Amino acid sequence: MRFNSPLIERRAFIDTAGAQYEEENRERNTRINLLVMIFASLWKYSNGMKHDESVTRAIDSILTFNSDIHALIARLVDDDGPTYNSNFFDTATRKVTGGLEHISDAEIAKFFSHTVTVLWKEQKKSARVRTVLAKLLAMNGRFVEKEIDMIKNIAESDVPMEVDPWVRMTLCRETEPNYKKSKEVGNWLIVNDFMEIKFEGEIVGYCTKTTRAPNGSIFLRGVFYRPEGTTFEILRAERERGGKAGRKIKIIDAEWNVARGAWLKQK
Stated as kind and residue range, the H or E segment containing 93 is helix 86-99
At 104, give phi and psi (nearest 5°). Answer: -70, 160
Confidence tier at 164 by pLDDT (50, 70, 90):
very high
Rg from Cα positions in the chain = 21
Domain ranges across the chain:
6-147, 155-261
CA distances from 263 to 117, 223, 224 (A): 21, 9, 10
Range in 37-46, 95-104, 136-145, 170-179 the model is least confident about? 37-46
pLDDT at position 44 is 76
Query: Which has more pLDDT, 56 or 76?
Result: 56
User: Which range has highest mean pLDDT (41-50, 129-138, 141-150)?
Assistant: 129-138
Angle between helices 127-147 and 53-65 (to 10 degrees): 40
| Helix, strand, coil shares, percent, the chain, to 5 | 55, 15, 30
pLDDT at position 222 is 97
The rounded distance, in Å, linking the Cα atoms of 131 and 30 is 19
Task: Tell me the pLDDT tens digit for each residue of 232-262.
Answer: 999 999 999 999 999 999 999 999 999 999 9
Task: Tell me the pLDDT tens digit for each residue of 24-69.
Answer: 799 999 999 999 989 888 877 876 556 789 999 999 999 999 999 9
pLDDT at position 267 is 64
pLDDT at position 181 is 97
